[in-house]
Amino acid sequence: MLDSRQVPYGATSTRRLHWLRLAAPQEFFSLARKVIPWFGAAALVLGLAGLYVGFFVAPTDHQQGEAYRIIFVHVPAAWMSMLIYLVMAFWAGIGLAFNTRMSSMMATALAPTGALFTFLALWTGALWGKPTWGAWWVWDARLTSELILLFLYIGFMALQASIDEPRRADRAGAVLALVGVVNVPIIYFSVKWWNTLHQGSSINLQSAPTMAATMLIGMLLMALAFWAYTIAATLWRANCIILEREGHTDWVRGTLEEVK
């Protein structure tokens, strides 16, 4: 049985080993630095295309008029808020279980962007709720559980910021992130489990989408743009964290000379 730990560092005999090498901050840093501009550019192009389809191609909704166009930012932001939390908890958990510091740094890097999208989901939701429901905010299951998600992100960041020793902060944050994961399915299924004011999903894995094709395309383009943005932003933040934590090492000194 070939064990990756028995292969000398730097070996690239199989694809699997190649990916495992990214657990080393040095490897991660140089790959991330290469791909960040590409994901950034993809986010820009997809975002512009999504806005074009959303505002110039997709028709007016016969019930909600133009107010429905909030969907093009609201739904992708809400999806990202949940997805980022799952990815964050995954990496935090891996970091806790295997003591891999790069995983923990990735979790820390994801939190602010996740919090941003959670706030945006709530903000755009309030701006959509007012004209359609007549209320900025209601304490229904979907909205309340999404608010709890925002508090989980903020709690994760505050907890990590309050602990000086990075590896202890990683572990404490991981426990919080893993406990909070239970909230994500609650958000997702809240519109099914409870009678909520929030509408059910128009898009799910069980049935065909219940919306016009151009609306769907606009929304998916925006979702892809938010994905690309999230990858670019979180890799960039992870690289900042690497420099902050590992600034004393020889390889970081090497990259400084490269940049000069």
Partner 1 sequence: MNWTSMNDFFAMGGYALFVWGSVLVTFGLMAAEVLGLRARHAAIQLQLHRLHARQLRLHAGKP
Which of 29, 54, 23 lies closest to 226 in space, CA to CA? 54
223 near partner 1, rule: CB under 8 A = no
Alpha-carbon span 143 to 213, nearest angstrom: 27
253 near partner 1, rule: CB under 8 A = yes
Alpha-carbon span 124 to 195, nearest angstrom: 21
211 close to 187: Cβ distance less than 8 angstroms: no
Q: Minimum Å distance from CB 153 to partner 1?
A: 14
143 near partner 1, rule: CB under 8 A = no
Question: Which segment (91-99, 180-188, 205-213, 231-239) binds partner 1 by CB under 8 A?
Answer: 231-239
Question: Which segment (176-184, 188-196, 203-211, 235-243) binds partner 1 by CB under 8 A?
Answer: 235-243
Which two tokens mark 5? Answer: 């730990």
Q: Minimum Å distance from CB 106 to partner 1?
A: 15
Question: Which segment (92-100, 111-119, 154-162, 197-205) binds partner 1 by CB under 8 A?
Answer: 111-119
Which of 77, 76, 79, 59 lies closest to 68 in space, CA to CA? 59
Q: Which of 66, 158, 185, 193 binds partner 1 (CB under 8 A)?
A: 66
Alpha-carbon span 104 to 205, nearest angstrom: 31
69 close to 55: Cβ distance less than 8 angstroms: yes
88 close to 114: Cβ distance less than 8 angstroms: yes
Q: Which residues of 144-161 are buried (b: 16+ CB within 10 A; e: fewer)?
A: bbbbebbebbebbbeebe
86 near partner 1, rule: CB under 8 A = no
131 near partner 1, rule: CB under 8 A = yes
Q: Minimum Å distance from CB 6 to partner 1?
A: 35
Residue placing its CB nearer to partner 1 in the complex, 21 or 245:
245
Residue written as tokens 């657990």? Answer: 23
Alpha-carbon span 190 to 142, nearest angstrom: 5
Q: Which of 4, 14, 60, 199 binds partner 1 (CB under 8 A)?
A: 60
Residue placing its CB nearer to partner 1 in the complex, 64 or 171:
64
The contact set with partner 1 (CB under 8 A) reads: 47, 51, 55-56, 58-60, 65-67, 69-70, 72-74, 77, 112-113, 116, 119-120, 123-124, 127-128, 130-131, 229, 233, 236-237, 239-240, 243-244, 247-248, 252-253, 256, 259-260
